[in-house]
Amino acid sequence: MKLKGIKIRLYPNKEQKNVLNKHFGSCRFVYNNALNYKIIMYSDYGISTSKFDIVKQITDVKHQAEFAWLNDIKAECLQNTIDNLDFAFKSFYRGGGYPKYKSKRNKQSFLSKQNNRILKNTNKLLFYKNKIKFRCSSKDKELIRNNKIKRVTYSKDKINNYYASILIEFEPKKLKPIDKEIGIDLGLSHFLITSDGEFIENPKLFRKSEYQISKLHKQHSKKKKGSINKEKARLKLAKKYIKISNQRDHFLHNLSAKLINENQVISLETLQIKNMIKNRYLSKSIQDASWSKFITMLVYKADWYNREIQRVPTFYPSSKTCSSCGYVKDDLKLSERIYTCEQCGYSEDRDINAAKNILEKSRDELTRTQTLQESSSLETR
């Protein structure tokens, strides 16, 4: 069984909005107070508190008259909030960023793992005795109905739209094996170039909207703090960012699905994207392209549908190597868009040449791995 997340749009009525907003606010309150408690206990007393200590403290707080309103909140949601904080600290200990306080101005969310289901023959999701209307594709609705729901994350974005991200267990239908293999070279002028010579244009969604975004930022900054007009300007700006994000996700999902459907093996470079973003001239364009998200989509979709992703080593000179004879042209300049081999005279578009090299290198790596596995199995015998 595989896991899949399906995000649906919720349309709660006024009463249901109040219930959801109370949960958002209460979970944010518990998270911030628990984080503050951990910081104070460690900085003032040198005591490292576990999530069980915090759960006990929250239980004591709920018995106080001042915080009686916490008893109106689904208890497991508060428990899941503490689990999220504990996970955030574990990520910090592994090298991630230090947990931050949650703000009511940013995206709001809480997690529910119990008694989540879609009511039969309706477009309504049951949460805490509330039947909330939702909208999604018929395909996604069938998947949710026919598979086990693991958990649901309820959220509200910066423009006050409500969503539910439903994690289900499902068994994907495997695609029929095919003989086609492809190498792809990710770029910025074109999003990707295939070893078959196909160029996929980079939509450059943020770059194309950059002027509008800067204009909206200026309008927002000029409004009086705390005014209604300031809030209206904030909503306009947030809508623009959300639209760009949705357009990007749509493009990446469609492209990754197309590549998975049409190819059995997809060969990629192993890119160090975190290091590449440090280049101040290219960082904005790289983040706009969202290579990392695209590669993640390819990997999990390949796992679902019986496809294979092959990786080429990071420092393999795919652009400098001749795909015909293997000669490495060390003095290749970035401005040279046509690769011309000095040894055999082969001439090809630089990016297509790189994609062909990525495909051939992944084949060599696969053959080498299989040979090593066979030799090790013979030694074991």
Note if 351 is an active site residue: yes
Catalytic hit among 86, 348, 351, 360: 351
Q: Give how far Cα 378 sits from Cα of 88, 337, 365, 368, Å.
A: 46, 47, 20, 16
Report which DSSP code applies to 237. H
Options 86, 269, 288, 348, the catalytic residue:
269
Pseudo-torsion of CA 75, 78, 84, 85, nearest 10°?
-140
- The C-alpha atoms of residue 117 and residue 124 are separated, in whole angstroms, by 9
- The C-alpha R_g of the chain, in whole angstroms, comes to 26
Is residue 349 annotated as a catalytic residue, yes or no? no
Give the burial class of 133: count Cβ atoms within 10 A of its Cβ; 0-12 exposed, 13-18 middle, 19 or more buried: middle
- Count of positions (residues) in the chain: 381
Contact present, 77 and 115 (Cβ < 8 Å): no
Specify whether 185 is catalytic: yes
Catalytic residue among 86, 185, 348, 360: 185
Report the 10 Å Cβ neighbour count for 54. 21
Active site residues: 185, 269, 351
